[in-house]
Amino acid sequence: MTTVLQLPPLDPASLLSGARRERDLAHLAAGGSTDVLVIGGGITGVGVALDAATRGLSVALVEQDDLANGTSRWSSKLVHGGLRYLAKGSPGVAWESAFERAVLAQRVAPHLIHPLAQVVPDFAGNRGTARLALVGQRAGDALRRAAGTPSSLLPHARHVDPDLALRLVPGLRHEGLMGASVGWDCQLVDDARLVVAVARTAAAYGARILTRVQVLEVDPAAGEVQAVDTMTGTTVTLRATTVVNATGVWAHELDESISLHPSLGTHVVMPTALVGAGHGSLTVPVPGTIGRFVLSLPQTGGISYVGLTDNETDTTDFASPQPPAADVDWILEILNTALEIPVTPADALGSFAGVRPLVSTGDHGSASSADISRKHLVQRTDQLITVTGGKLTTYRRMAQDVVDLITDAPCRTKDIGLIGAGPVDERLDVPEVLWRRYGNEAPIVWDLGELRPELREPLAPGSSHFGVEAEFGLAAELALTVGDVVDRRTRIGLVAEARTPAALRVAGLAAGRLTDSPGVDGALVG
Ligand SMILES: Cc1cc2nc3c(=O)[nH]c(=O)nc-3n(C[C@H](O)[C@H](O)[C@H](O)COP(=O)(O)OP(=O)(O)OC[C@H]3O[C@@H](n4cnc5c(N)ncnc54)[C@H](O)[C@@H]3O)c2cc1C
């Protein structure tokens, strides 16, 4: 194995700010051509920007809103080993997932990824389901081993007794509990933070990252893209040898030959104490399906995301679709079958939904969207390459497939750590959650509060997000609005009642350096 290249903490070239955005946009608007222009600042787009930049190509990325504006912030935040795809008869997709999980968790982003026990309860009267889950988890183990992930990171799957099951998931229903099947997968600290880390790493290798630049039209033959700077309303013509359409569920708008089958996935935000989770993820089989589960996913700060649905949708709000109330009911109903004390929608702290950009193969007939392949699509027409579908877990591979079409230079991203990866000195007095979010940049983030102690206070009562995170977002992570801070650099906005106080606090701390402000109802106005 080759060694992983690590960037120094706070590498100056990795710092993204409003001032740098303006300089880079002015350069491109003045006619500066790039080798690769990527459209879309979700995980796929930033992944392509990083891959291309590290192969020596000049790169610009334009995103119509903020980084992680679309689907990439609404996922389950799992870096998964592909077990589900094995159950669906897609061994290729399963293997790709397991391989990419190994690369991300051990080399590229170990600071953002940690193991998670998935606990499938074994109740008397329904023992076949837990046994089947264990068979699946053992098959997942075989994939893990083949992909080179050691059992010291993700332990072997096994059946545990009721005592251990209850220690992992204390809220489990006691009646009829015979134990649990426990398998292991990987969890991201946050999906939007992964996007920002990849974007900053791409910037460190020379990519120009421009948010709030919306592409209106692509003329691949001329190598020209018409776009508008949505902060000023100015239109610009951008030039590139190759244009990459990485706009996820929007892909059809720039490339009409792409046909997608959008599917909506909902999660409910619950207090962890109520949904039974402790160290593990309560994983409840969906009746009448194979390989589908409702999962409670514990997060930092005492909250859990519980999901998820997978339903065809005709929504056109791809950036922040409304989670249907029926989805919330369905999720909690299934969760309740395994809980000692049932929960209701009134216990929820919030909910969120995202649209999967599933590639329409045209042969899925009446199959539900849950059955459609998660395989990604890379399609080249002249100088326009469209990449869509796939998943967060496989973003690196998707990017490799795209850039392989552009250059013969070998892909390097398996051997490049994201910003924040690398050795940390945990003796330093920094809150645990910051190590998990910022890796070896955590002490720098925390130090921002040395002269301004108010930055070391939580952004809202009881929140695990601190003022220093807002400040770091402004200084280094291209946060330009209050919404960027509360909804993407931090995820405080996912807890409905924390969002308004946090937005007011962020606007106060930023003292006019952000372009919007919260109104009395908490809505953000630019
Ligand atoms: C509910 C749910 C749960 C999921 N859970 C997981 C999981 O646990 N693990 C996993 O691996 N995967 C998961 N996925 C899949 C994963 O989230 C997606 O595959 C991935 O985020 C798609 O990223 P993307 O960059 O292709 O699209 P997006 O994140 O949507 O990015 C596209 C970007 O393009 C921008 N854009 C669009 N049009 C323009 C334009 N004209 N000009 C400029 N910019 C434009 C948008 O603003 C957007 O930011 C989940 C998906 C969903 C919906």
pLDDT in tens, 263-311: 999 999 999 999 977 779 999 999 888 888 999 999 998 999 999 999 9
- Sequence-distant contacts of 233-240: CB under 8 A, at least 24 apart: 234/29, 236/25, 236/28, 236/29, 237/29, 238/28, 238/29, 238/34, 238/37, 238/60, 238/62, 239/28, 239/31, 239/32, 239/33, 239/34, 239/37, 240/33, 240/34, 240/35, 240/36, 240/37, 240/60, 240/383
pLDDT(361) > 80: no
| CA 293 to each of CA 29, 330, 358, 372: distance values in angstroms, whole numbers, following the listed order | 49, 12, 19, 16
Candidate from 39, 64, 69, 71 with most ligand 1 atoms within 8 A of CB, to mutate: 71
Residue 162: pLDDT band (50, 70, 90) is: very high
pLDDT at 365: 43
Average pLDDT, the chain: 93
Q: Which amino acid is at 125?
A: G
Which range, of 72-81, 132-141, 490-499, 515-524, averages the lowest pLDDT?
515-524
Name the pairing type of β-strands 280-285 and 293-298: antiparallel
Cα four-point dihedral sign 16, 421, 44, 389: negative
Averaged pLDDT, 439-459: 96
Q: Is 350 in the pocket of ligand 1 (CB under 6 A)?
A: no
Candidate from 65, 66, 75, 331 with most ligand 1 atoms within 8 A of CB, to mutate: 75
pLDDT(369) > 70: no
Q: Is 374 in the pocket of ligand 1 (CB under 6 A)?
A: no
Q: Is 226 in the pocket of ligand 1 (CB under 6 A)?
A: no
Which residues are CB-contacts of 230 (< 8 A; sequence separation ≥ 6)? 64, 65, 212, 213, 214
Q: Give the model confidence (pLDDT) of 454-492 as tens digits.
A: 999 999 999 999 999 999 999 999 999 999 999 999 999
pLDDT at 126: 84
pLDDT at 399: 98
Q: Are the C-beta atoms of residues 130 and 181 closer than 8 Å to each other?
A: yes
Neighbours of 6 (CB within 10 A): 16
Averaged pLDDT, 337-356: 97
Averaged pLDDT, 151-166: 96
pLDDT at 277: 73
Averaged pLDDT, 47-52: 98
pLDDT at 522: 57
pLDDT(371) > 80: no
Q: Are the C-beta atoms of residues 130 and 122 closer than 8 Å to each other?
A: yes
Candidate from 313, 378, 392, 393 with most ligand 1 atoms within 8 A of CB, to mutate: 392
Averaged pLDDT, 147-159: 95
Q: Is 78 in the pocket of ligand 1 (CB under 6 A)?
A: yes
Which range, of 70-79, 337-346, 418-427, 441-450, averages the lowest pLDDT?
418-427
Which residues are CB-contacts of 137 (< 8 A; sequence separation ≥ 6)? 83, 118, 120, 157, 181, 182, 183
Residue 367: pLDDT band (50, 70, 90) is: very low
pLDDT(89) > 80: no
CA count, 13 A, side-chain hemisphere, 339: 22
Q: At what angle do helices 43-54 and 395-404 cross, to 10 degrees?
A: 50
Can you point out the beta strands (E) in 272-310?
A: 280-285, 293-298, 303-307
Q: Closest ligand 1 atom to the C-alpha of 70?
A: 30
- Burial class of residue 74, CB neighbours in 10 A (0-12, 13-18, 19+): buried
Protein residue with its CA nearest to atom 3 in ligand 1: 75
Which tokens hold the place of 259? 């046909």
Model pTM greater than 0.85? yes
**152 CA distance to ligand 1 centroid (A)?**
31
Q: Is 43 in the pocket of ligand 1 (CB under 6 A)?
A: yes
| CA 518 to each of CA 69, 157, 192, 264: distance values in angstroms, whole numbers, following the listed order | 19, 48, 22, 29
Pairwise CA distance, residues 315 & 250, whole Å: 12
Pairwise CA distance, residues 407 & 388, whole Å: 20
Can you point out the beta strands (E) in 124-202?
A: 158-160, 177-188
Choose from 125-139, 339-353, 423-437 the range with maximum mean pLDDT.
339-353
Stronger pLDDT, 88 or 427, i.e. the higher one: 427
**262 CA distance to ligand 1 centroid (A)?**
11
pLDDT(520) > 70: no
Q: Is 390 in the pocket of ligand 1 (CB under 6 A)?
A: yes
| CA 304 to each of CA 276, 282, 369, 428: distance values in angstroms, whole numbers, following the listed order | 10, 10, 25, 28
Q: Is 82 in the pocket of ligand 1 (CB under 6 A)?
A: no
**354 CA distance to ligand 1 centroid (A)?**
8
Candidate from 61, 72, 108 with most ligand 1 atoms within 8 A of CB, to mutate: 72
Q: Are the C-beta atoms of residues 376 and 47 closer than 8 Å to each other?
A: no
Q: DSSP class of residue 126?
A: -
Start-to-end Cα distance in the chain: 49
Protein residue with its CA nearest to atom 4 in ligand 1: 75
Pairwise CA distance, residues 144 & 161, whole Å: 24
Neighbours of 60 (CB within 10 A): 27
Residue 523: pLDDT band (50, 70, 90) is: low
Q: Closest ligand 1 atom to the C-alpha of 263?
A: 53
pLDDT(176) > 50: yes
Alpha helices by DSSP H, 405-464? 432-438, 442-447
**44 CA distance to ligand 1 centroid (A)?**
7
Which range, of 180-194, 418-432, 461-475, averages the lowest pLDDT?
418-432
Q: Is 75 in the pocket of ligand 1 (CB under 6 A)?
A: yes
Q: Is 76 in the pocket of ligand 1 (CB under 6 A)?
A: yes
Q: Is 479 in the pocket of ligand 1 (CB under 6 A)?
A: no
Which tokens hold the place of 366? 């009446």
State the Cα angle at 423 between 419 and 425, rounded to 5°.
115
Averaged pLDDT, 42-65: 98
**238 CA distance to ligand 1 centroid (A)?**
24
Three-state secondary structure call for residue 235: strand
Name the pairing type of β-strands 376-381 and 384-389: antiparallel
